[in-house]
């Protein structure tokens, strides 16, 4: 793709605004994960959420770092998508009366969040590359890989939990 200088200015603004949304997203996930740990019955699931909470706190710090270096600030823009996903998750979890069903509901909700994060970081990494920001692209790629690994782990945990829920 060939970009002219005016396009580059627009792309830079788009990139920064989406980093600000990513920061809001990670902050909202940091608030949601402790509640998800509390609601998990499956020990492996609770442990996966605890590990990912730690990683998510790292994502907050890394996105803050990228923003600080680009703008001198750590402003956020509300990520409406994550707000919607979390509200939906809370509603479904409220409806799930049995523990195994609640666990699969938690996994489903968490995977939707991971898929959203994968889309966000894949895009941000590509934009950073287009803008020639190779350090940013590397940092975003490493967050992206952690989101992908979290999603994969949830898939493997869901195999066991789905069996219990169906039993």
Give the residue at shortest CB distance from Fe ion.
59
Residue among 131 and 140 whose Cβ is closer to Fe ion: 140
Residue among 37 and 100 whose Cβ is closer to Fe ion: 37
- Smallest gap from Cβ 3 to Fe ion, in A, equals 28
- Smallest gap from Cβ 149 to Fe ion, in A, equals 9
Biggest CA-to-CA distance, the chain: 60
CA distances from 17 to 35, 41, 46, 110, 120 (A): 28, 38, 33, 24, 12
Residue among 28 and 117 whose Cβ is closer to Fe ion: 117
Contacting residues toward Fe ion, per CB under 5 A: 56, 59, 117, 147, 150
**Residue 4 tokens, joined:** 């002219």
- Interatomic CA distance for residues 153 and 167, integer angstroms: 22
């Amino acid at each position: 793709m060939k970009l002219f200088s005016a396009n580059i200015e627009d792309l830079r603004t788009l990139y920064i605004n989406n980093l600000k949304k990513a920061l809001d997203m990670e902050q909202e996930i940091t608030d949601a994960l402790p509640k998800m740990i509390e609601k998990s019955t499956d020990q492996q699931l609770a442990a996966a959420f605890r590990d990912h909470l730690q990683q998510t706190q790292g994502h907050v710090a890394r996105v803050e770092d990228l923003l600080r270096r680009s703008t001198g600030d750590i402003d956020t823009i509300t990520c409406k998508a994550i707000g919607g996903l979390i509200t939906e998750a809370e509603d479904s979890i409220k409806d799930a009366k049995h523990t195994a069903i609640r666990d699969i509901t938690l996994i489903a909700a968490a995977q939707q969040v991971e898929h959203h994060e994968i889309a966000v970081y894949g895009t941000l990494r590509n934009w950073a590359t287009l803008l020639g920001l190779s350090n940013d692209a590397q940092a975003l790629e490493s967050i992206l890989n952690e989101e992908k690994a979290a999603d994969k782990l949830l898939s493997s945990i869901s195999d066991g939990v789905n069996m219990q829920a169906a039993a």
